[in-house]
Structures are given as structure tokens and as C-alpha cells.
A and B are shown apart, each in its own frame.
Chain A
Amino acid sequence: MTQKSGYVLTRGRAAQIASFVGITGLITGAIGMVWRSGASANYALIAIIIGGLGIALWAGLTPREFRETITGKRVRYGTVTIVSTALLIGIVTLTYMLLQSAALTLDVTQNQSFTLSQETLNVLRRVSRPIRLTGFYTARNLAARELDDQFFRLYTTATNGLIERDYIDPEQNPAMAGRFGVQEDGQLYISYLDAAGEIDMTTVSRVPRGESQERDVTQAISRMLIAGTIKIYFATGADERDAFDTTAEGIAGINNGIRESGLLTDTLNISQIAMANGDIPNDAAALIITRPLRDLTGAETDVIRRYMDGGGGLLLMPDVTYNEDRFMSETGTFNTWLWQTFGLRALDAAVVDPDASASSALDVISAVVFTESPIASRINPEAGTQTLFRVARVVEADLLSTPANIANGRIIMTTPFGFGERNLADLGATNTFGFDEGEDIPGPVSTAVWATHQVTGSRVVLIGDSDFVSNGQVLSAPGNGILFTDALSWVSGFSDEIQFAPQAFTSGLPTVFVSQQQVDLVVFLSVILVPGILLVSGLAIYARRVRR
């Protein structure tokens, strides 16, 4: 018998490989055909074609063996191997597919990253119409798609299929990607389906992808659910900033942003209501008053008082104006009512903070943020999400003698070196300011405060600035948009829809300070010591062998 070395491809061996490929192709094809319909039927067809080609090649290469195998005259050993191997592969494939469709999974992460929280399940219980999540992933991004799908799948399961998933390759289907406005790989969209089961393009909105995938997706679903049920009114009639003005002074930008979030917006002329002795409509989830150029009259205050007594939401943004009848002047009717009812007021003083400001000490940056307040949790000057107010009013929350049934507090405050400049006339005329002992308000002073009535549920946020949300400045600091959105979410009750307990466990975050010495120790241990020990053991074995 001759010793065989290496691997030589003979005709017989090629035929064996061909027969193996052929039978495997046929079996997998058959499994595919039986198992699934739709897209996978194509693969099954491909498998069967490959199988047929393999068998044909087998028959062509070794016709005698093929004939004898088919007629059962001689079942060669090699053929038995091929058939049994193909059968084994078939069994394994079938088991795999069965398990895959059964989706037996177990989430072992401490954060339960692959399990829906109770909050999400509560939201999903309200889903009654088919919703589709449409993801755009290229062929290069399949791993991310699979990882995401494992999470999105939970939504499908939890809603018994009411939430569908669909994935589109934007490169294969650029027209579809264009309709959705896809800009990058891995974007996700949410929409309702119409009666025909097609995507209702009017309801499509992009799902933002942030730190917490669950919060992003659940909030998107929640927005879909409450879209059209929450209405926000912008007050008009006293030269407020215009919600449709697209110039630098207007606030059309945030108005559009609110609408894109699924909320309805409209304008409301308070003075006309007051004159008609009417009321703010019942569907108003919140009223936004942005820097009117005059103070509210007693009649107008009454309109707002009645609205707030019914549990309304109020977002007030006075500003430093240099007229006598400024909005929320310290002793005005409106300011007095707010102070007595909610323990909040605006003072006739401009905020100055030499220690936390931009180009001028009047451009104050959020120095102290009360993150435990309902609004400020996402504003963090250290993480770059600070706010920037240009010439802001000093506001105040009455923390010592809070009115009955009121909970209130500060949102943003200056440094201890900040103060309230009372001399607004000089400030307006000559832009001069400076701390005058006994006259100016000593710091720290507040720039944003909140209050809620615990019986009626009414909510107020008072921010001493309005140009921070103007089209011209809303992007000047990352926190500006966040502060507005979160304040509005809170006063309108929108944020109550979805609240997430923060994840308790952050894996792998260093809890101790790691010194350079310790880093060096780790490098020594892992790069030198461990491989070194193994190498020395190897050499020792070698040496012992040589000596023997």
C-alpha cells in the first residue's frame, strides 16, 4: 500500500464532492421549501438548483458509480458517508431553524438590556393600531441590524404582532430611502399602517438614537399614541414673540419642533378672550407666554387664573425690557397673583454673573443646575449641555413661605458671585452695570424656577429669558433646546406619558481612580508577566528534555 501525502483532487474525489454538494443542496432546499414561504423560498430554490447541478456533475464525472448508486446495485462506502453526512447536516439545520423560530432567549445582562421594562409594557398596552418600525441598514451593517432587531423583536412579541419590523437596504432601494429622508446607515423610522397595510407616510417620524435604545423607541411609540391629543397654545395679543416668525427674533423653530414631536400647536389671543369674558379652551395642555411687550391686565390675569385653577400648564418667559409697563413687573397684578398662588415671581432686575458667562457678564451660563427638579435632569454644564441666557430677568421661588398645596423650587441659579442689577434704566441706556451694595440683589440669583399645585395638578415654569428659544439663539447653547423641551413636556404633562427609572447599574465604569502606576502594573502583568511565565515553563520543559 502506498502512503498518501497531501490532498490530490482526483476525478473520483471530485465526483464525491459534487455528490455531497448535490445531496446537501437538495436536502437544505427541501427544508427551506417546507419550512418557510416568501423570501426564503427563493433561497430554497437556489439550494435546489445548486443541488441539481451537484448531482449532474456527479453523474457526469463517474457515470457508472452514479448509475449503480441510483439503481441500488452497489452502494459504495463513500456514498453511504455522503448520504449520512448530508442527513446529519439536514437534522442540524432543521434543529437550528426550529430553535430560531421558537426564539428561545435568555437575557443575562444586569441592566436587562434585552428585556422591556414595565414602563414600556404599560405604553405598549395602549397600542391598538398596527405600527411599523422601518430600519434602514446597508449590507455592511448587518450585525448592528441583527443586534437591534433582537431588541425590536421584543416590541412585536409584547404587542402580539401589532408592532411590525421591516428592514430596507437604502443602497438597494434608494427611492424608499429618499421618501423617508434617510441620511445615514442604521436610521429607524416609526409610522402607522393604513387600511391596506401600507405605511401611512403622513405619520412617519424618525426615531432618535441616543444612550437608551428602550427609551428612544418607547418614547417614539408613545408620541405616536398621543399624537393629536395634546395641544399647546402660544399666547398672542401683547406683542409676544411670533410662533410663525422665521426671522432671528421669531420662535417658528421651536414651534415646528413641537409639532414634529407629535403635538398640536395653535395661537391664542388672551386679550380678546378677556374682553369677551371667555375662557382658555379646554384642550389646552399648556399655554406659552413669550415676552409680551406689556404687562397682563387684571382681566387677562383672571383668564389665566381660571385656567390654572382647572389644572392648566403655564410656561412663562419674561425678559428684560426697558419700558415701564414690562411683562411681570415686580408689583404688577399678574406677578402678584403668581407669587401668592405659586410662590414664583419675576424681579425687576437683570442677571449678571461674572463667573459663569460668555462674552459679557450679562450672557449667563447655567452655573448651578438643580438636576433633581422635574425639568433640569438633562442639563449638565460639565457634559456640555449648558444653557445660555443673554440679558435675563432675575426670577425667584418662595422657598421659605411656600403657599398652601404648592411644591416649588429652582431649576437654574448663578454662581455666588452673580447678582441682580436693579438699575435697568442705565443698563438699557448705557449698558453699564455693577454690584451696588444695598440696592442690587446679592447672588446667587435664580434664572429658572418651577411650581406645581398638588391638588389641581396645575404646573408653572418661569424662565427669566425668552431670546434663548428665538430662532437666532436656540442653537447657541446645547442646553437651550433641552430646557425648553423638558419644561414644556413637564407643564403639558407630556413627559408623564413615559417615565424611566434610570438604569441602576453602569457596567465597567471605574469607581476608583486609576493611577498611572496602577496602569503600569496592569501592563506589566498582562504583557510581560503572564506570557513570560508561559514562555519560561516552555523553556523549562525543553531544557529538561534535552538533559534527559
Chain B
Amino acid sequence: MSEVILSVKDLRASIDGKEILKGLNLEIKAGEVHAIMGRNGSGKSTFSKVLAGHPAYEVTGGDILYKGESILEKEPDERANEGIFLAFQYPIEIPGVSNLDFLRVAYNAKRKYHGEEEIDTFDFEDLVEEKLDVVKMNPSFLERSLNQGFSGGEKKRNEILQMALLEPSLSILDETDSGLDIDALRIVAEGVNQLATPENSSIVITHYQRLLNYIEPHFVHVMYDGQIVKTGTKELALELEERGYEFIDELVEVGA
């Protein structure tokens, strides 16, 4: 049986005193891809940020076990270095830091954390150039300031490039597909597929079923008001697409 990578138990979290996650349960094993769908405001992005340890959110109940250990007390950087990777919905632009330097700093932070020697600029450049192919990125992107002036598609590809370099055990893709044209979407999805192994797993948070034509999930979860209210296979996503989220409203009402 595969190793359990992530086990979320009755997770409750709030921001500025307002509860957003209201008892969320989820279990993910190595090799699995889970899609989480839901309306805006259902708590999908909050869930991704809580997993990554955003300090603005307070966990008020439940637990998150990563590889069997609670990570609630761990800093965002510790979580990252232990293999949790969040691909941001809105990657931050940082003028004045070259993309290449940023990638190297992140890569070396992980090596340092694991007691490995940091790698120098030249070796790193070789490494990163191999990875560029995953997201079909032009090397000139490395010289530019981090995400500055990048198009939406370029920013998302840059997130996947970081993922390729950092080789996480658990990646969380927060609406990586939103706003992408079909070519960019295909590149991003193919990148994610290339990086999938039997040892790692991912959570794909999305609003649109379309992404799931390119990244095939083993499970689809529907979030509603801070909880996962329905879990199924990818057929559930098709059903959602066809019937709209009103279908969930009905479902919840019936349940209640």
C-alpha cells in the first residue's frame, strides 16, 4: 500500500476572526492526484494557504499530518523544505531580483536545510537549463526580474519551473489554470504531468473542469462553505461542469 502523504483531519481555520475552513477532511497517498473544485469563496485558496503555513490564517481546530507528522507548528519555510510546494494563484512580482538568482536561493535553501552543500552559480545554471524544457521556457526569462512584467501564462509556467527544481512530495496548484489561454494551459498541464511520479502527489485546485482534461485526477472533491462535501472520480467534475454548482447547493440541502 502507498504511503499516506497528507492527512487533514477536521481542519478549522480563520482569518481576522472569520472562520473559513469548517472541518475539512482529506487523505492523499503517494502517486495520487486530487482535484478540489468549488465556487469562489468556498475556501479552496484558504485551504492551500493554510497547508503552506500563511501566517495570516489561524488554525483553530483539527490537524494536518504530513508524512505522519503534524505540521501545524512548522514555519512556512520548514514546510517548503520538507517538500510541500504551493504554486500561487497570483505569483508575486519582485523587481530587482533576477529570476535565476531567486531560483538558486530557493534551491540552495532546501539543500542547506537537508545538510547538503549549496551549489554554485555555474552548476546551478546547468541544472536550471535542463528544467526549462519542462515548461518550454526561454532562457532569457532567467535574466529578468522575478515575475516582473510576466504575462499570466509566464508567471504560471515560472511556478511550475520552481516546482520542477524543488521536486516536492506534495504540490498544491492553486487555480494555476485560471485566466490561461489554451496553449499556456497545455504547457502548464504537461509540465505538471511530467513531474508526477509514484512517490509524489498533488492537489489541483481549480474552478474549471477544462484543466482536468489535461491533468487527470484520481479523485475529485467538491468544496462548499469550508468543507469537502462530495468526493468522486473525474466524472464528478464533468457532472459539475454540466449541471453547474447549483447541483451542489441541492446536494447540500438534501444532506441537511
A binds B: no
